[in-house]
Amino acid sequence: MKYSHLYAPLTLGDLTMRNRIVMAPMTRSRARQVDDAVSSLQVAYYGQRADAGLIVTEGVHPSADGKGYNRTPGLYNDSHVTAWSGVTDAVHARGGLIACQLMHCGRVGHALNKAPGTRFLAPSALPARAEIFTESGMMPMPVPEAMTDAEITAVVDDYRQAAARALEAGFDAVELHCASGYLPAQFLATGSNQREDRYGGSLANRLRFVAETLAAIISETGAGRVGLRISPGNPYNDHIDAKPLETYSALLQLADRLGLAWVHAIRMSSTGIDSLALTRKYFRGALIGSDSFDAGEAERFIARTALDAVSFGRAYIANPDLVVRFACDAPLNALDKRTIYAGEGASGYTDYPMLAERNG
């Protein structure tokens, strides 16, 4: 086979992937706005892509407060467990694996995207200097509330409960989103964390929230079913840290000590940090690389052990049968950027043609 390394099985903590093609986590803004639940749309969407070695879901908020974006799904009550069970059943019916990515947005978001009465919680009362999409257009982000110790403890427990619900819903693993300026990253970064207590100041203190959150998740799932998403130096959502190389080196050493199954690292040359090499240096578990790979480049990175697996994003939006297309060097469907985020409809979500349909 041309891509023999890409199609080789991989042990990922407690999981065994049948190939090393990962569907990347991608917000698609099609959950039900009224209750943050997934529906038959997501059952079809993820089920179509179940021949991936592993699917990582779009970011899923562990509490109503943790929501930031329009029409993103939650996992914080029994109805969410029931709804997500349909998704995991569809993936497992085709022999696939699926991980739930837990994403608490913290200060990132807008009131128009959240339920009435929900809060914006963050390490410090500092707004993200950025705008966010709402159904009324782009809006500046609000000033968040600085979390008390009791609120930090409560949010850590929200993550724990979400991890437990993920297993109940049939997910095979959980990935903690610790990138893109969301709550865990807000605690890590000096630009968003200006606390003077045990959660702020020193690097050890800024790591504490992530350490406690990972420990809480592991208490429900075991370390062999937990991954970590990182993007060192990425300024998205006003994520600014004075010493990102130092911060993420320490974070990776924490992940290694905890025995996490994988780190999912986004490469971004503009940051000046080689996130893939950095992860390999400090983390002994599996490394999933992300961002703008094609099949050939993925094969080369895996062949030389620079990566263990590669996640694909935009290509997976337009090509539900990406695993088949790569295997036979078939052309890929073009991505319709207009329908990446498009409310509740199936257009541009579950209606991209499979290769078999194209060849008719």
Catalogue the active-site residues. Answer: 182
CA–CA dist 358, 340 (Å, integer): 21
CA–CA dist 87, 93 (Å, integer): 10
Residue 323 near residue 295, CB atoms below 8 Å: no
What are residue 318's phi and psi, to 5 degrees?
-90, -10
Burial class (CB in 10 A: 0-12, 13-18, 19+), 213: buried
Q: Which helix (H) or strand (E) holds 248?
A: helix 244-258
The structure tokens listed for 167 are: 């297993």
Residue 41 near residue 53, CB atoms below 8 Å: no
Backbone dihedral region of 284: left (phi > 0), alpha (psi from -120 to 50 degrees) or beta?
A: alpha
Q: Which helix (H) or strand (E) holds 152?
A: helix 149-168
